[in-house]
Amino acid sequence: MNNPGSHTEILPHLFRQEHAKMTAVLCRHFGLKHVEIAEDIASDTFLKASEHWAIHGTPGNPIAWLYTVAKNKAKDYFKKLSVFETKVKNNPEKKNIHYEFEFEYNDQLIADSQLAMIFAVCNPANSSKSQICLALQILCGFSVEEIANAFLTKAETIKKRLQRARTNLRNDKFQIRSLSEAAIVSRLSTVLKTLYLVFNEGYFSKTSDQHVRKELCSEAIRLGMVLTDNALTDTPQVNALLALMCYQSSRLEARAGDNGEIVLFDEQDREKWDKSLIQRGNWYLINATSGDEISAYHLEAGIAYWHTVTSDAKWQHILQLYNQLIVIDYTPIVALNRVFAFAKVYGRKKAVVEAEKLELTGNGHYHGLLGYLYSESDTKKAIAHYEQAIQLTRSKKERQVLAELISRCAAGYAQ
């Protein structure tokens, strides 16, 4: 045993790391219809750990202790359920039902269960927002309050969204006991999209006053790595997405100042970039080239890679990748980012023409880009676009950056 107080340090970490895995293992044996029971058993296990370890100290193998307790709690629950069905309710149809009390919880089973749970949670019947909420709660262990804070939404709204999503999850015929190739083919794109959205919400939050939410980024990467640990899901697309997330995450420390303010890319301290994450991104990107497929994740990973390079010649490569990306996966943000790269290659004056073709007048990023493009040639127009961007931007952090850019333009105009 360790000292009695050490549990206060290890238990929160274990909860975040093991609660979702434990829920997945329990659901593997008892089915998704019992997902709430599985979560309750997992939560009760950690509650017992907090009480027991406070008195007796942390066990030598805390993870094994937790899974043993969870297994015993599951066994007790289903014994009581069996007694209730056969004796109290006197339901003859239930008399021959025998629940599987004994099960193993080795590393391979936990990994397989968690992988299958990822595919179960990413149910195409749910909206993107619902999938993210469900993933954060079931796969990442976030509370309703944490999810509500992440989406800048009332807890009650999140509860209703989760209730609807959970109903679809329980009604789904998806089996997590084994993950078939057919299940992977049918849901992999939804799984990757969900992880992509979770990461983006962490990397560039649209719903929180926090510009960066590192815990969401790390959870998306962790779940992506679960996919690469299985031969069936270790695909080029998965590796491309992981490469993208590693490259982007390498700059997290540099993207915020001491007071949480946004630091623009050109002003970031490159010494704060995480070189090990860049190297890991390189490794995943190499793995992503094992097939003939070029997905949007491949192109975005390539763009993110070139952003780690210091040479100005990188912008030619970035523009070429955006030219490909905009064809296969057009979004307003992709179009705007392409124009920014165009400006780096051909100059801001020509880029203004490209930008105005988009006519995204109701988009704050569109006006922010035009403010940047006009800042060298027409300060009045630049300020007007920055002011329009402020009106269209919900993020407090982004409004602060835009206000600073207006101040810089005004100072230059005054001179």
Q: Are residues 155 and 225 in the same domain?
A: yes
Residue 200 has a pLDDT of: 86
Residue 283 has a pLDDT of: 97
Where a domain ends, among 229, 250, 272? 229
Where a domain ends, among 229, 255, 283? 229
Q: Are residues 100 and 152 in the same domain?
A: no
Let me know if residue 391 belongs to a domain.
Answer: no
Q: Which two tokens stand for residue 223?
A: 């779940």
Let me know if residue 146 belongs to a domain.
Answer: yes
Q: Are residues 126 and 192 in the same domain?
A: yes
Q: Are residues 100 and 159 in the same domain?
A: no
Residues of the domain holding 22: 1-105
Helix axes 181-203, 214-228, angle to 10 degrees: 160
Q: Are residues 137 and 100 in the same domain?
A: no
Query: Any bridge partners for residue 262, and if so which?
Result: 256
How far, in Å, CA of 59 to CA of 155, rounded? 36
SS3 211: coil
What are the per-10-residue average pLDDT scores of the chain (415 residues)? 61 84 87 87 93 90 92 86 60 51 73 88 84 85 79 86 90 78 86 88 66 81 92 94 96 81 82 94 95 92 95 93 96 95 96 95 95 94 95 86 91 62
Where a domain ends, among 70, 105, 140? 105
Let me know if residue 254 belongs to a domain.
Answer: no
Residue 128 has a pLDDT of: 80
Residues with Cβ within 8 Å of residue 110, at least 6 apart in sequence: 21, 24, 25
How far, in Å, CA of 69 to CA of 57, rounded? 16
Q: Are residues 89 and 130 in the same domain?
A: no
Let me know if residue 89 belongs to a domain.
Answer: yes
Q: Are residues 170 and 99 in the same domain?
A: no
Let me know if residue 179 belongs to a domain.
Answer: yes
Residue 4 has a pLDDT of: 47
Let me know if residue 248 belongs to a domain.
Answer: no
Q: Which two tokens stand for residue 265?
A: 């890319």
Let me know if residue 382 belongs to a domain.
Answer: no
Q: Are residues 101 and 136 in the same domain?
A: no
Q: Are residues 65 and 152 in the same domain?
A: no
Residue 415 has a pLDDT of: 47
Let me know if residue 380 belongs to a domain.
Answer: no
Burial class of residue 308 (count of CB atoms within 10 Å of its CB; 0-12, 13-18, 19+): middle
Q: Are residues 58 and 154 in the same domain?
A: no
Q: Which two tokens stand for residue 228?
A: 């690469």
- Domains contained in the chain, number: 2
Q: Are residues 139 and 75 in the same domain?
A: no
Residue 125 has a pLDDT of: 83
Q: Are residues 134 and 87 in the same domain?
A: no
Residue 207 has a pLDDT of: 52
Residue 40 has a pLDDT of: 92
